[in-house]
Amino acid sequence: MLYSIDCWMTTNKLLMREGLDTNWDSIPLKGGTSMRLTLVGTGYVGLVAAVCFAKLGHDVIAVDREPVIRGLLENKSKVWEPHLEPELADVMAKGRLRFETSIVKSAADADSLMIAVGTPTRPDGQTELGHIHEVLAQLMQSGTCPPLVIIKSTVPVGTCDELEASLLAAGLHTEVAFNPEFLRQGSALHDFTAPDRIVLGCKTSQAETMLRELYEGIEAPIHVCDRRSAELIKYASNAFLAMKISFANMMSDVCEGYGADIRHVMNGVGADRRIGPEFLSAGVGYGGSCFSKDLQALLTTGKLIGSKLPLLEATAKVNDQRIPRMIAKLISLWGNPLGKRLCVLGIAFKPNTNDVRDAPFLTLLAQCERHGIEVQAFDPVVAHVGAKAVKVMDSPYTAAAKADAVLIMTEWPQFAELDWPYLLHLMRQPLVLDGRNLLPDSMISQIVAVDDAVYVPVGRPMECSTSVREERP
């Protein structure tokens, strides 16, 4: 039985299994007044925003470093996002989006300038704003700046006030507004064009008018507020979502202790419309470039004014325990982990993205290396990790060959459709740890029908084959 990697990379199949809109182009975008927008930064947020604003009918210039722009022009973007590649090609062909490397040149005739550069966390817990300051330094040195600078990057409270003061001190009468993003990687285009809300943090009615014109054509509630409140909205939103995930994981430990089923518990809790079902899935914990970073930034923000945030501290602590707890389960089943081989399905921190930043997989890899566990992994879109401690294979079946256990790390929907009895046949030991509770009951029944097979979920009792049950006293 042969399987090729191609069958796991069909984007539309992935999206249909996830229940997402496979034709986001059908969303009506009634572009209004055309604006000249310069957008600095072409990472996940910047590139998606550039494409979507161009699709709305604006004239967009996206600016980044020369190697990044060269890659985009050669169709070699490091960003993998469903539907992004064809939409990027479309707006470029229509002349709505072009790429440049000079911030000053690109911003010279712009109506507004949007900044979507990275703001990583420093070792002391504070947010690194160097990339934003670098952009503004070039504008101040040139003596020219558009009338409105829009910060799309996530920044600490009070940043926009400080940036505007710096521009004013340099003789540039420019207003700085904050317009946070709420994009989920894997569905970013859909989230941009059909958002739950659009937050506009600005000081004057003129800035509000320009921001509203920028988003004209997208039907969504618009929340207008002061800049500091907008900056806090972004942090508070991500912190609350992370808190929901940690709550579900905390309750999963209780469920395991009492033999309850976390799926039923969270379905019952999420049915309350005051709570909602989203972000209540137990598993290996949250990851990615936003939740951990923004949670830490908000904790640091609180410390700066002497405000303790114990709920957020607990959220991070619960999340930090997920991978060690999973490893402890694995070792308890193995006995001696030294020399064992683990097959890991999923490297990216979530489905429909190639982003491995702060992915739970990286924490797992470090733990496995410490315990002498060999790791073979597979991911539908991540082909390279850059760590010697893992072999990235070209299919889930080659990753499972002669493995002593398989761990589902990322809830890629096609993992639920594998030929699990065959995959277990390839392994030395038919042990399945479902770190995302991904597999349906029908597939679990097939797994435990295999001799000596053991299925270990999260937040509910494990299941094992008849042969294993008979061996137990």
> Hey, what are 277's tokens?
């079902």
Q: In angstroms, rounded to a whole number, what is the distance separating the alpha carbons of residues 132 and 113?
A: 12
Cα–Cα separations (whole angstroms), residue 135 to 187, 227, 305, 317: 29, 20, 29, 36
Residue 63 CA neighbour count, 13 Å, CB half: 20
Q: What is residue 105's three-state secondary structure?
A: helix
Q: Are 424 and 450 in contact (CB under 8 A)?
A: yes
Q: Under 8 Å CB-to-CB from 233, ≥6 apart: which residues?
A: 180, 199, 201, 223, 225
Q: Are 238 and 291 in contact (CB under 8 A)?
A: yes
Full strand arrangement of the beta sheet holding 341-345: 390-392, 374-378, 341-345, 405-408, 431-434, 454-456, 463-464
Q: In angstroms, rounded to a whole number, what is the distance separating the alpha carbons of residues 379 and 410?
A: 8
Which among 348, 344, 347 is positioned nearest to 376, based on CA atoms? 344
Which one of the listed residues 202, 290, 368, 464 is annotated catalytic? Answer: 290
> Hey, what are 395's tokens?
């299919």
Q: Are 115 and 152 in contact (CB under 8 A)?
A: yes
Active site residue 7: no
Alpha helices in 380-428 (DSSP H): 396-400, 420-426
> Hey, what are 156's tokens?
């600490």
Catalytic center residues? 290
